[in-house]
A and B are shown apart, each in its own frame.
Chain A
């Protein structure tokens, strides 16, 4: 929602998911942008009414996606393995070079949560030139968010604007669903 309010478009959204349950497991991608989350944003953007049902649908979808990723049922690492195997065997496939595939991995919003009682801050750099890096912790009574962007971005990304939009949305959520 915050990104849409700034750029008026939907980005590919990355959320990291640890796959440490697996031997040598590292991460899988939780693709946060879903039909459900888009329906909520479409409904609420441009002065629309906050639809609690659409919001909760989006949350449930996100939880399901996160659970699948944690179980190794995401798609991104499988594609990575296929692409790597193809590359090592000198196999080319138009899918890996297609605009659809490439743009779906151009993570305009890359998010990650590493919470621990002893951490005050956590953050990382934006992973694309025109993207945002959002590292956050969920603590009792506060959610510190570290926002990073490139000054050289040609899409006018702004950590300050992102901060304001996130803050506004959190206030909306607080009022609408009584957090």
Chain B
């Protein structure tokens, strides 16, 4: 089957049907459910940034937004499977003693895709140290859990698109065939 099972994919077939195949350790089904809900929000809703693309039919579900608390620190994204990333971070230990924003930027420049958001306050230094510690000793690879969403969704660019199931699986699930990942996920 022509699918990446360690990444997220939006699957579209010619009749306008779309589905999502996602790697489960990163996020749960409800997150994708929420994302699809937002995409499909009624275009009469003035708060919808996608309203110009939206479906104006009354059958389009309008989700109730869940209030999200303001994060106390910025989100740090990193690819822990890369040895070059770990090496770069270890080499930056000296820089970490200084200003946090600068040192994070330095790490980012040295290693691709390590830290994408650098607006991190100095008060988060301990948090960063904690993250870097865990990177220096990555946890043992765990079996990833796979999930697939076959969605009867009309993508916003397909007004009046028809529905047809696209959620399919290969004969054998691929949990054992994935490359060794180090993402930790509570099963």
Task: List residues of A whose CB falls within 8 A of some B CB.
Answer: 14, 16, 18, 20, 23, 26-27, 76-77, 80, 84, 87-88, 105, 107, 110, 112, 114, 116-127, 129, 133, 135, 146, 148, 150-152
Contact = CB atoms under 8 A, between A and B. Distances in A.
With most chain B CB atoms within 10 A of its CB, the pick from A118, A123, A151 is A118
A118 B153 contact: yes
Size range of the chain B interface in the assembly: 35 or more
Contacts of B29: 16, 112, 114, 122
Q: Interface on chain B toward A: helix, strand, loop, or mixed SS?
A: loop
B134 A27 contact: no
Interface in B31-86: 33, 36-37, 40, 59, 61, 66, 69
A122 B33 CA distance: 11
A112 B40 CA distance: 23
B66 A20 contact: yes
B147 A123 contact: yes
Interface stretch (B93-101, B119-127, B163-171): B163-171
Given A76-B186, A117-B61, A135-B147, A123 B163 contact: no
A77 B186 CA distance: 7
A116 B154 CA distance: 13
Contacts of B36: 116, 118-119
B26 to A, nearest CB: 10
Contacts of B148: 122-125
Given A107-B187, A118-B40, A123 B28 contact: no
A148 B170 CA distance: 10
B150 interface: yes
Given A77-B186, A122-B149, A127-B175, A23 B169 contact: no
A26 B186 CA distance: 9
4 tightest CB-CB pairs across the interface, nearest first? Answer: A120-B152, A125-B173, A121-B150, A124-B147
Nearest to A124: B147
Contacts of A146: 150, 167, 169
Nearest to A113: B29
B103 interface: no
Given A20-B66, A88-B134, 18 more contacts: A16-B28, A23-B69, A77-B186, A84-B139, A84-B184, A114-B30, A114-B33, A120-B150, A121-B152, A121-B165, A122-B149, A123-B147, A124-B148, A125-B145, A125-B169, A146-B150, A146-B167, A152-B172
Contacts of A125: 145-148, 169, 173-175
A117 to B, nearest CB: 5
